[in-house]
């Protein structure tokens, strides 16, 4: 198997040292690279414990922990682009249920995985914590 560096040509965010943070998920982009092991199933997990967004009613900050797990097909999500994508929610007024499903939709659109799951565990507000799970494809075990 040849590991041709040209497969990284489309990765623009990883090459940048400057911090041009997107202001919304619509402005952000998830970049991908070729999966060299597309002939097998394996699970990729991104653990993002510092997720923030804004309450759509009060504008107060909401804090959460996002875990993305997926089985890639032909493409994998590049981690810095995911970090910047999630960072873009800091200025976004959204309900927890909406943000989890928006993240899942973006991942599916970007890399067309065999299966994907986004779990959001949000800190209590008003005494209630919210946990949201959204799935694409089969449930991921392991």
* CA triple 14-70-21, angle to 5 deg: 30
125, pLDDT greater than 80: yes
DSSP string over 30-89: --EEE-TTTTS---EEEEEEEEEEE-TTT--EEEEEEEEEEE-SSEEE-HHHHHHHHHGG
Percent of the chain, pLDDT > 90?
80
Rounded CA separation 76/30 (Å): 10
Residue of 55, 76, 111, 141 with catalytic role:
55
Is 62 an active-site residue? yes
Is 105 an active-site residue? no
Residue of 4, 41, 47, 62 with catalytic role:
62
Instruction: Work out the mean pLDDT of the chain and round it to a whole number.
Output: 92
Confidence of residue 19 (pLDDT cuts 50, 70, 90): low
Which strand (E) or helix (H) includes residue 130? Answer: strand 128-136
Cβ(67)–Cβ(47) below 8 Å: yes
Cβ(109)–Cβ(28) below 8 Å: no
Rounded CA separation 106/103 (Å): 5
Topology given in CATH for the domain delimited by 24-136: GTP Cyclohydrolase I, domain 2 (3.30.1130)
Of the candidates 83, 84, 87, 103, the one whose C-alpha atom is nearest the C-alpha of residue 95 is 103
15, pLDDT greater than 70: no
Q: What is the pLDDT of residues 90-119, one digit of tens each?
A: 999 999 999 999 999 999 999 999 999 999
Confidence of residue 18 (pLDDT cuts 50, 70, 90): low
Residue 58's pLDDT is 92
């Amino acid at each position: 198997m040849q590991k041709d560096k040209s497969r990284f040509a489309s990765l623009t965010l990883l090459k940048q040292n400057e911090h041009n943070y997107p202001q919304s998920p619509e402005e952000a982009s998830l970049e991908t690279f070729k999966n060299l092991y597309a002939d097998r199933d394996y699970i990729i997990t991104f653990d993002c414990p510092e997720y923030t967004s804004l309450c759509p009613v009060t504008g107060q900050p909401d804090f959460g922990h996002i875990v993305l797990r997926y089985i890639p097909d032909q493409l994998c999500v590049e981690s810095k682009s995911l970090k910047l994508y999630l960072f873009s929610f800091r200025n976004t007024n959204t309900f927890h249920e909406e943000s989890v499903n928006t993240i899942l939709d973006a991942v599916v659109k970007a890399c067309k995985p065999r299966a994907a799951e986004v779990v959001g565990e949000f800190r209590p507000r008003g005494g209630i914590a919210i946990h949201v799970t959204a799935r694409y494809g089969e449930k991921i075990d392991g």
